[in-house]
Chain A
Amino acid sequence: MATEWIGLLSIFAIVALVLFRIPVAVAMGLVGTIGYAIVDDWSAALNRLGNTPFELAEGYSFSVVPLFLLMGAVAARSGMSGDLFRSANAMFAGRRGTVAMAAVGACAGFGAICGSSLATAATMSRIAIPEMRRLGYDERLAAGAVASGGTLGILIPPSVILIVYAVIAQESVALLFAAGLIPGLVLTALHVVVIWALVTRRPELAPAAHRQPDWRERLRDVAAMWQMLVLFVISVGGIYVGLFSPTEAAAVGCLGAIALGFATRRIGIRAVVESLGETVRTTAVLFFIVIMAFIYAYFLVLTRLPQSLVEFVTALGWSPLAVMLLVIAFYLILGCFLDAIGMILITVPVFGPMVTGLGYDPVWFGILVVLVVEIGLITPPVGMNLFVIRAQQPDISIATLYRGVLPFLSAGAILIALLLAFPRLALWLPQLLYG
């Protein structure tokens, strides 16, 4: 059998193993090692298994991940999510659907200090969904807005998924962070438009607007998000203006989050210790997948699958857009079954060279991949954000959740179309900042 076919089969083997409850990291490590042994030999495969974990010691850029995770964990314990919700409520006040729009706005704001979609959905669902239910919002709208809004956390920098893409595609984290900002803001606006359209067409989904607060009250509430703005400006802003490297920005952001928490007396030593404990466990889980993905990537290179795919697609003579649409369709289908990190780590080594071979910018492709993966977080049957909300609000049925997120899928679809039509949506800011 040609090695390329072994490479192709390996993708299906991983998906099958994962669907049969083998942990994602283990499935990738196992298939990578066995595949390596088949293409080369067992001795080389086992040496690869033993040596690859040490690559972490040579990768200074990896340290950005635990530091940004720590910043998010501290921010979550400092009650910043509640402040953001209050601010967003003041911004959208006076309209039908205010609180749902505020939930989305607060998700976007929390995404700007936390790199995780699940953490964003978990934090905001504790605050926004009970409030919406108390005010008489339809459960589908309440849960759908938070589940979908949670996905904004991985497009708006800092984003762990963008860092993972940067690592596997060997791209610059700073460029990707710059490229994600405008699409993230556009997606937030699209979410607000979806809510507006829903409540305009079906007013029974949300109660009529409450009294409009005066400008003084509104200004005071909007100002409540100052802590989030400070953290975003010193960390991500520091990267944008070239003051810090991503690792430095994350460390400064961590210190900033801890200092703000202490200064406002919202957290103590105990919360910092809990945040550290939670972060190292999350980091270990994440890096176990990344290391196993490296082993799998070594095997894939050995099979020559990525190069053969480039040659195959070139020989087909299809337009780059047609190939890209096919790639997007593949991701959307895979997103129904696989988790975000696994999807990126399995597919980018295969599709990355093909897409750049077609003339697409790898930074732009990173944003597109993250966006499509985001959609996977809210599509059944494996919609991680939906599971998180279900865990927080067990009396909302999974069917209600599925129906709730359905209208929000259109926001993602529109942004995909916009990115395909106007790549500068993602590439303008990196070009402006870094030339």
Chain B
Amino acid sequence: MNVLTRVLAALRTVAAVALLAMMLVTIVDVTMRSVLNELVLGAVELVQLALVATVYLALPETLLRGEHITVDVVDQALSPTALRRLRRIAAIVTTLLVVALAWRTIPPALDTIEIGDLTTDLGISLVWYWLPLVVGAVAGAVAAVVYAVGEFADRSAAGSAPGSAAGHAADPGDA
């Protein structure tokens, strides 16, 4: 397991912890409201923070594994060479978009530090909400580049990245 894989797996673990926290905060909120008729101050803000962490910290690993939904209807009709070319084009286009995304999330995140906005109930700095987004986007950009390099190194039509062969590796609830 190389360094990048380990770092992205660690980010995914943080995302999983955030999801668990999201569940527990909501449960405590519901219990307090039902049993003690009291609201947990800032439960909504904590859930929102957990959601941002869940989504963006898990994103880089899915990019490294090529798990994003792709329609592979043309595969049967194409030669292995043509298919390999399409896979490479898709990897380049994905990389360009994710790199642009990472680049453009940094300025508004820096603005937040300067302005110093806080949430209403708990007074959490909005920087904490931007942090998982920026970390996820930058790590995602690195993951997309590594995935694209892997596609160019791979000579087979099916591709070597885990999850890419099926074309529909992840089930987004359709889902």
Bound Cα distance A301, B93 (Å): 24
Chain B residues closer than 8 Å to A377, beta-carbon distance: 174
Chain A residues closer than 8 Å to B13, beta-carbon distance: 277
Known A21-B71, A281-B62; contact A289-B27, beta-carbon cutoff 8 A:
no
Chain B residues closer than 8 Å to A33, beta-carbon distance: 97, 100
Residue A417 is within 8 A (CB to CB) of chain B in the complex: no
**Cβ contact within 8 Å between B62 and A54:** no
Bound Cα distance A19, B89 (Å): 13
**Cβ contact within 8 Å between A20 and B86:** yes
Chain A residues closer than 8 Å to B101, beta-carbon distance: 29, 49-50, 53
**Cβ contact within 8 Å between B23 and A56:** no
Of the candidates B20, B55, B68, the one whose C-beta lies within 8 Å of that of A24 is B68
Interchain nearest-CB distance for A79 vs B (Å) = 19
Overall SS of chain B's interface: helix
Interchain nearest-CB distance for A47 vs B (Å) = 7
Residue A51 is within 8 A (CB to CB) of chain B in the complex: yes
Residue A305 is within 8 A (CB to CB) of chain B in the complex: no
Q: Which of B20, B26, B55, B70 has the most chain A CB within a 10 Å cutoff?
A: B55
Bound Cα distance A255, B20 (Å): 10
Residue A171 is within 8 A (CB to CB) of chain B in the complex: no
**Cβ contact within 8 Å between A277 and B174:** no
**Cβ contact within 8 Å between B174 and A339:** yes
**Cβ contact within 8 Å between B174 and A340:** yes
**Cβ contact within 8 Å between A285 and B67:** yes
Interchain nearest-CB distance for A426 vs B (Å) = 20
Residue B145 is within 8 A (CB to CB) of chain A in the complex: no
Residue A101 is within 8 A (CB to CB) of chain B in the complex: no
Residue B161 is within 8 A (CB to CB) of chain A in the complex: no
Q: Which of A23, A284, A341 has the most chain B CB within a 10 Å cutoff?
A: A284
**Cβ contact within 8 Å between A66 and B26:** no
**Cβ contact within 8 Å between B51 and A46:** no
Residue A209 is within 8 A (CB to CB) of chain B in the complex: no
Residue B47 is within 8 A (CB to CB) of chain A in the complex: yes
- Chain A interface residues (CB < 8 Å from chain B): 18-26, 29-30, 33, 46-47, 49-51, 53-54, 56-60, 62-63, 65-70, 115-119, 122, 154, 160-161, 244, 247-248, 250-252, 254-255, 273, 276-277, 279-289, 337-342, 377, 381-382, 384, 387-388, 391
**Could you write out 19 A-B pairs with CB less than 8 Å apart?**
A19-B74, A21-B90, A22-B89, A23-B94, A24-B71, A26-B68, A60-B51, A67-B22, A70-B19, A116-B173, A160-B174, A279-B19, A281-B58, A283-B58, A285-B172, A339-B69, A340-B174, A342-B69, A382-B73
In the A-B complex, the 4 residue pairs with the smallest Cβ-Cβ separation, listed nearest first, are A50-B104, A160-B173, A251-B26, A286-B172
